[in-house]
Amino acid sequence: MKGKVLAERVYLDWNATTPLRAEARAAMIAAMDAVGNPSSVHAEGRVAKGLLETARAQVAAALGAEGADIVFTSGTTEAAALALAGRELSCSGVEHDAIRAWCAEDLSADGRGRVAVPDPARAALQIANSETGVVQELPEGLALSDLTQGFGKLPIAFNWLGCDMGLVSAHKLGGPKGVGALVLKRGLDVPARIRGGGQEMGRRAGTENLLGIVGFGAAAEAAAKELAAGAWEEVSRIRNILDSAIATEAKTTIIVGKAGARLPNTSCFVTPGWKGETQVMQMDLAGFAVSAGSACSSGKVRASQVLTSMGMDEAAASGALRVSLGPGVREDDVLRFAEAWLAKWRKFRDRAA
């Protein structure tokens, strides 16, 4: 019975983390036999070093960052700390907490979630928002962009974005958790925050997470091929079917960012008065994994920081639900989700009447 329940579940929280790709799993299993330390000069060390540098090249190629420096970290949060500590940059309230922790929050988002940046050289601006899916237009000369949600879903070429630094994470595109990278325009340097050895060009000491990095490289390469093959266009089509199924009946529910550019996989529904965490629990019991916002803000009973920064009042912002899809999600999956969600919505509507 337990196995049957698990088999019926549908995972619709791809912006929180993605299923591990077969390519990443295979690469990591193969790398387990590499016994050497990438910093050692003997044959075994050189083998490990070769795996490390192959992964670095794979990530750079997938990100359009050939010639830039890829500094591997434990994830986007550490990469943000490495990039931003000691700098005085501006950001808006729609940025991830890992960015807002280091920046002055003095830029404003409009009602569509778009952010104007008057001084790009002193600002950080994400390429896309994890909660709403809203995609930004990055200005030339931007100091830093959090590319985490866009990498693998949008055609990105770091070398053409015109920004100095970028942040990426493996587990958002089918790689393992616990590994990410800071991308630096060649010639730009950052002081190490973890000091010790000379790993990662002296910018991040400590023996590299070789298995995680190898998985990251394989996942990035596979993600780039998938994007080029048009897989995310199909995801967008299925997401639009979901939007229509919800909007057709739940006419008072707001689909955030629908009128502008969004990630191809993301729908953020706001139903004022119906708590997002309540919706998450009800959908979980119905067999669907969704979220009320960023996974890094889970457990915090409060209105979405992103939505309130866009001008939405707290009462409405507390009723947000995020559904995020991936290439493994079928049309039938989202239609079944919409049916289950609407059944709960009708009960909420009738109680509120």
Average pLDDT, the chain: 95
Supply the pLDDT for residue 8.
Answer: 84
What tens digit of pLDDT does each residue of 169-207 get? Answer: 999 999 999 999 999 999 999 999 999 999 999 999 999
Spatial separation of the C-alpha atoms in residues 235 and 349, rounded to whole Å? 30
**Helix (H) / strand (E) containing 282:** helix 276-285
b/e sequence 177-202, b meaning 16+ C-beta within 10 Å? bbbbbbbbbeeeebebebeeeebbee
| Confidence check: pLDDT of 294 > 90 | no
What distance in Å separates the CA atoms of residue 350 and residue 157, rounded to the nearest whole number? 49
State the residue for tokens 């609407």. Answer: 342
* Tens of pLDDT, residues 106-118: 999 999 999 999 9
Task: Answer whether 303's CB lies under 8 Å from 317's CB.
Answer: yes
Greater confidence (299 vs 265) lies with 265
- State the first-to-last Cα distance of the chain, in angstroms, to the nearest integer: 38
Helix pair angle (210-228, 43-62), 10° resolution:
30
Q: Which of 10, 8, 7 lies closest to 331 in space, CA to CA? A: 10
pLDDT in tens, 13-72: 999 999 999 999 999 999 999 999 999 999 999 999 999 999 999 999 999 999 999 999
Reference 84, options 98, 67, 105; nearest CA is 98
- Dihedral of CA atoms 73, 202, 68, 88 in degrees, nearest 10, equals 80
Query: What is the reported pLDDT for 352?
Result: 86
Residue 3: per-residue pLDDT: 35
**Position 296 confidence tier, pLDDT thresholds 50, 70, 90:** low
In sequence order, which residues have a C-beta less than 8 Å from that of residue 349 and are 6 or more positions away? none
Confidence of residue 210 (pLDDT cuts 50, 70, 90): very high
Q: Count Cβ atoms below 10 Å from residue 81 Cβ, excluding itself.
A: 16
Question: Looking at 91, 103, 163, 296, which residue is catalytic?
Answer: 296
Using alpha carbons, list the distances in angstroms from residue 62 to 35, 56, 156, 216, 244: 27, 10, 8, 11, 33
CA distance 330 to 173: 18
Q: Is 296 a catalytic residue?
A: yes
Residue 345 pLDDT greater than 80, yes or no: yes
Q: Which residues contact 166 (CB under 8 A, 6 or more apart)?
A: 63, 65, 144, 145, 146, 147, 158, 182, 183
pLDDT computed for residue 303 by the predictor: 86
Q: Could you give the C-alpha distances from 224 to 27, 88, 164, 337, in angstroms and in order? A: 16, 33, 22, 29
Give whole-number Cα distances, 201 to 52, 57, 189, 242, 317, in Å. 13, 15, 10, 46, 43
Residue-range domains of the chain with CATH: 2-18+230-352 (3.90.1150.10), 22-228 (3.40.640.10)
Q: Sign of torsion, CA 66 168 125 290?
A: positive
Q: From residue 272, how far is each of 130, 260, 293, 313, 316 by CA, in Å?
A: 20, 22, 15, 10, 4
Q: What is the mean pLDDT of the segment spanning 238-251?
A: 98
